[in-house]
Structure 1
Amino acid sequence: MYARKELAALGYDDDHALQRAIRAGDLVRLRIGWYAFRVHDRTVASAVRDGGVSTCVDALRFHDLWVPPTPPRLHLRRGRHRTGKHVACRPCSGSLRSATRAVDPVPVALKYAVHCLDADEWIAVCDSYMNSSLIDPADLRADMGSSSATVRRLLDWTDPRSQSGTESITRVRLKSLGYSVVVQPGIEGVGWADLRIGKLILECDSRLHHSSKAAYERDHHRDRRALVDGWLVMRLTYDDVLYGWDTVLEDIRAITTPDRHRARTVKQQEMLRRSARISRSEGNLPFDLDI
């Protein structure tokens, strides 16, 4: 999808060429000044037809970021004097210039998603973006150009090391309850795990995590090795985290309340120290973090 000025750069630099492409079905006019090629994204086209551009959750999904399930609706933004049949999303602060592209870039979409996602979900999307784009929270804050206190507070909770949305949400929820959570700990003989609380390892599977028999068997071998070495392993599914969190938290508390996650013996304490050393050697753990 392109604005009229962009089409000119693609060779449609006069009205005759434009009208020929429309009559041939190669181009579709979505609204005055905006056009789409024959094959296009229907969600984005709907936003443009309704006087805006795609933003917020729809734009984040378009950019292939992890996005939690949300109620069906169109997420778009419009210029100040435009109207349409769909309710436009609101930015976290201020207003933005008129759009020149049909889909907002990620930093802009995130500014609008603050009001459409829960805090832990928004943080998880930020984690996904930073992990895939190899930027840090300071870079993202600069790209967003936001002075919003809400955005600054939420960005303080992000962690680009997180490997999945379910891992991010689990981390945020547990840390908000006061748990000391280690992200991507190194486990000797096992590799990298998702999260760790003491000697309790939490593996947070995505919806498509066990899409192959090999992945299923690999994870079960890892879990068995960790258990033999003295770790406790709890594997959480996508549905556990997104739809059954109360039960998950009960199970975690059943381990942590009686301090079953604590390293009681010299062997267990050394096991945790080795894990911390592995993580620190890869730059994956702050040096002052309690093991």
Structure 2
Amino acid sequence: MDPNTLLTRNHGVASWAALQKAGVSRTDLRQALHTGALTKLRRGWYASDRAHPAVAASVRAGGVCSCVSALRLHGVWIPEGYGMAHMRARSAAHNQRLPGLCHRHGRPLREDGAVDDVPTAFAHAVRCLDAEGIVVVCDSLMNLGLMSRDEIEVALRSSPRKTQALLDKCARSEAGTETMARLRLRRHHLSIQTQVQIPDVGRVDLLVGRRLIIEIDGQEYHHTPEQFYTDRARDLAAFRLGYLPVRLGYRQVAVPEEWTISEEAILAIVRRGEHLAALPNADLRSNPALSLP
């Protein structure tokens, strides 16, 4: 592996040992430091001029990019409100009581690189995330195929029982906002199904009762003219069948003040009993899941 590939794969940060294996000599290193192509972070660790800020900051401080920061780099959906530079360190650094370190349930692990792998990062994130955040992350891990339910269960074995029990609330949602809405609405003891396939409509994010469809845009969602048209066509098809489709944007779920408004609108429909009315134009016998109360 050449040095550029090595640095790219490691978010712009690499150890001197890894750079040597990639063919970098001491003369090459001195030249790179002189030109600014590389910067010394700490003894034995270097960053390119394109290094990820969270990774460079973690290594510079004597740690490893871990927890929610590492999970973000692996593509996992992380709720808002958690800073960019979460890090952990080996036993020696923990014994020095360096500030700002994330911990796992159990003894500190050895450092294997600048960024932790998914299971190690998740083990540390469990102690930083709140209950809703843990379920959001677990849903994302399973949806992306980064960890199976069994692997998550093993990773949580050293955690408190109340944390382990959160796995029962997971449902492989495609976006964190979907998980957040599902968890919050279930506090009202509503019957909610996820990723339901409805003939002539397609797969919907949430189905509350018999009729109330809730579709939620993720943070990365961007409307194109074609997508805008497709979404409205799906809504029309749902209306024709007797469903009540509601669309929520990212902020309408992720921002607490916005969610208060969204939740009240949904609960108004529920209080009127509209989510439980029979479907006049849907063949429930061909789709038994839709007959749930």
Coarse TM-score class (shorter-chain normalised): 0.7 to 0.9
> Aligned AA for 2:190?
Y
SS at match of 2:88: strand
> Aligned AA for 2:44?
G
Alignment pair present for 1:89 and 2:102 = yes
Q: Distance in 2 between matches of 1:94 and 1:176?
A: 32
The percentage of aligned residue pairs carrying the same residue is 34
Alignment pair present for 1:219 and 2:228 = no
SS at match of 2:169: coil
In structure 2, the CA distance between the partners of 1:118 and 1:271, relative to structure 1 (3 Å rule), is farther
In structure 2, the CA distance between the partners of 1:117 and 1:46, relative to structure 1 (3 Å rule), is same
Alignment pair present for 1:249 and 2:260 = no
Alignment pair present for 1:202 and 2:214 = yes
Q: Distance in 2 between matches of 1:260 and 1:73?
A: 43
Alignment pair present for 1:140 and 2:148 = no
SS at match of 1:81: helix
> Aligned AA for 1:250?
E
Retained in 2: the 8 A contact 1:205–1:238?
A: yes
Match of 2:129 in 1: 117
Q: Distance in 2 between matches of 1:77 and 1:54?
A: 7
User: C-alpha displacement at 1:24, in angstroms?
Assistant: 4.6
Match of 2:91 in 1: 80
Q: 1:66 aligns with which of 62, 74, 77?
A: 77
User: Structure 2: which 5+ runs fail to align?
Assistant: 1-12
> Aligned AA for 1:164?
A
Give me the TM-score of the superposition, normalised by structure 1: 0.84
Give me the TM-score of the superposition, normalised by structure 2: 0.83
Q: 1:3 aligns with which of 12, 15, 36?
A: 15
SS at match of 2:41: strand
Alignment pair present for 1:108 and 2:100 = no
Q: Distance in 1 between matches of 2:156 and 2:263?
A: 36
* 1:83-134 deviations in Å (ceiling 9; x for gaps): 587411222x112312111111122222222233222222112212211126
Retained in 2: the 8 A contact 1:201–1:234?
A: yes
Alignment pair present for 1:233 and 2:273 = no
Q: Distance in 1 between matches of 2:164 and 2:208?
A: 26
Match of 2:47 in 1: 36
SS at match of 2:91: coil
Deviates most, 17-26 or 191-200 = 17-26
Match of 1:159 in 2: 171
Q: Distance in 2 between matches of 1:230 and 1:58?
A: 44
Q: Distance in 2 between matches of 1:135 and 1:88?
A: 24
Q: Distance in 1 between matches of 2:203 and 2:170?
A: 19
> Aligned AA for 1:166?
T
SS at match of 1:156: helix
Retained in 2: the 8 A contact 1:3–1:100?
A: no
Retained in 2: the 8 A contact 1:74–1:86?
A: no
Q: Distance in 2 between matches of 1:154 and 1:175?
A: 14
User: C-alpha displacement at 1:273, in angstroms?
Assistant: 4.5
Retained in 2: the 8 A contact 1:50–1:84?
A: no
Alignment pair present for 1:56 and 2:67 = yes
SS at match of 2:103: coil
Retained in 2: the 8 A contact 1:54–1:103?
A: yes
SS at match of 1:201: strand
> Aligned AA for 2:50?
V
User: C-alpha displacement at 1:57, in angstroms?
Assistant: 1.8
In structure 2, the CA distance between the partners of 1:54 and 1:28, relative to structure 1 (3 Å rule), is same
Match of 2:111 in 1: 99
Aligned length: 275
SS at match of 1:140: helix
> Aligned AA for 1:89?
C
Retained in 1: the 8 A contact 2:123–2:156?
A: no
Match of 2:5 in 1: none
User: C-alpha displacement at 1:53, in angstroms?
Assistant: 0.8
User: C-alpha displacement at 1:208, in angstroms?
Assistant: 3.9
In structure 2, the CA distance between the partners of 1:187 and 1:174, relative to structure 1 (3 Å rule), is same
In structure 2, the CA distance between the partners of 1:141 and 1:17, relative to structure 1 (3 Å rule), is farther
* 1:6-44 deviations in Å (ceiling 9; x for gaps): 2232123x6555444434544322111222234311211
